[in-house]
């Protein structure tokens, strides 16, 4: 498995398994399957409702804890220093581990500055091996990075061939921050799996559109966490390290960039209101 080296020297797998929208009833089987086929990075979150299931699986699997890289996220309702501090301990309990490899602030709402202070403290105490953010657009990302003792090591944002985050990635790199993609398949939107360019480029290497899209992001240094509940798809998503796209291939795929989200915008007041209301309810 290829890795990226975070600013503090921690090695993080560049490809992992995400459990967003994986029900608690299926989660343990899915994570067990993912680990069995070779995944070592597992991405969850407080808001997903399946941290406990991830914890059950990593506790009972045959892979040593130190070979796994576990990511979770602090939800909006747990923002503010004291609540975030307590939620970190709760995530540790649910994940049944002494440390979390990477903890992210899930959304840039509520008192995420207080949350960040709690995360910096937990990082210094050894409870967290790395800290970062999620869904931080360049404006809020720069603000937090400029006024924090420890700038974010990772920023997980919507990233796929139709929203490639080229400029945002360049800004992150100025702060030594790695970009991590949620939704690397855009959840199939915009006819993702039937895209003619991805199919044509992939055919040169006997790879699918999905594998080609993952390879494109990986060659840009983007950490990816594709999700599937089917073991054979997990295996296919992992099978992207035996070929290299040419510069011409990369340029063809870059032309697919629409430069905007296929899901929502944090600049849209209605979206922000919905996320804040949802954040209070979880």
Tens-digit pLDDT profile for residues 202-255? 999 999 999 999 999 999 999 999 999 999 999 999 999 999 999 999 999 999
Using an 8 Å Cβ cutoff, are 12 and 130 in contact? yes
Alpha-carbon distance 46 to 269, whole Å?
A: 24
SS3 127: coil
Task: List residues forming the annotated binding site.
Answer: 106
For residue 131, is pLDDT > 80?
Answer: yes
pLDDT score for 80: 95
Say which residue the tokens 């003619």 belong to. 196
Coil, strand or helix at 251:
helix
Residue among 48, 112, 123, 216 flagged as catalytic: 48
Grade residue 278 by pLDDT with cuts at 50, 70 and 90: confident
| Cα distance between residue 241 and residue 35, in whole Å | 17
Gap between the Cα atoms of 281 and 278, Å rounded: 5
Q: Extract the annotated binding site for substrate.
A: 106
48 assigned to active site: yes
> Which CATH number characterizes residue 254's domain?
3.20.20.100
Angstrom distance (rounded) from CA 165 to CA 184: 12
Q: If pLDDT is split at 50, 70 and 90, which confidence band does 81 have?
A: very high
| Domain assignment of residue 192, given as a range | 3-281
Q: Distance between CA atoms of 135 and 105, rounded to whole angstroms? A: 9
Q: Is the pTM of this model over 0.85?
A: yes
What's the pLDDT score for residue 24? 87
H or E element, residue 60? helix 51-60
- Which strands form 102-105's sheet, in the order they lie side by side? 17-18, 41-43, 69-74, 102-105, 131-134, 154-158, 178-182, 223-224
Domain tally, the chain? 1
């Amino acid at each position: 498995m290829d890795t990226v080296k975070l600013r503090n020297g921690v090695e993080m797998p560049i490809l992992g398994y995400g459990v967003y929208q994986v029900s608690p009833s299926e989660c343990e089987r899915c994570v067990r399957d993912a680990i069995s086929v070779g995944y070592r990075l597992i991405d969850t979150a407080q808001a997903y409702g399946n941290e406990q299931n991830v914890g059950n699986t990593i506790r009972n699997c045959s892979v040593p804890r130190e070979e796994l890289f576990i990511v979770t996220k602090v939800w909006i309702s747990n923002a503010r220093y004291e609540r975030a501090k307590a939620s970190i301990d709760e995530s540790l309990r649910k994940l049944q581990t002494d440390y979390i490899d990477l903890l992210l602030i899930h959304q840039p709402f509520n008192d995420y500055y207080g949350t960040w202070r709690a995360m910096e403290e937990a990082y210094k105490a050894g409870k967290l091996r790395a800290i970062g953010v999620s869904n931080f657009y360049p404006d809020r990302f720069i603000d937090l990075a400029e006024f924090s003792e420890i700038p974010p090591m990772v920023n997980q944002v919507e990233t796929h061939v139709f929203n490639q985050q080229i400029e945002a990635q360049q800004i992150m790199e100025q702060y030594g921050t790695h970009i991590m993609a949620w939704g690397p398949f855009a959840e199939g939107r915009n006819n993702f799996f039937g895209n003619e360019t991805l199919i044509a480029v992939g055919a040169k290497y006997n790879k699918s559109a999905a594998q080609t899209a993952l390879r494109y992001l990986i060659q840009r240094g983007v950490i990816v966490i594709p999700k599937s509940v089917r073991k054979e798809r997990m295996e296919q998503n992992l099978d992207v390290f035996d070929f290299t796209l040419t510069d011409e291939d990369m340029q063809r795929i870059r032309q697919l960039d629409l430069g905007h989200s296929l899901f929502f915008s944090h600049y849209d007041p209605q979206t922000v209101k919905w996320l804040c209301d949802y954040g209070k309810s979880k």
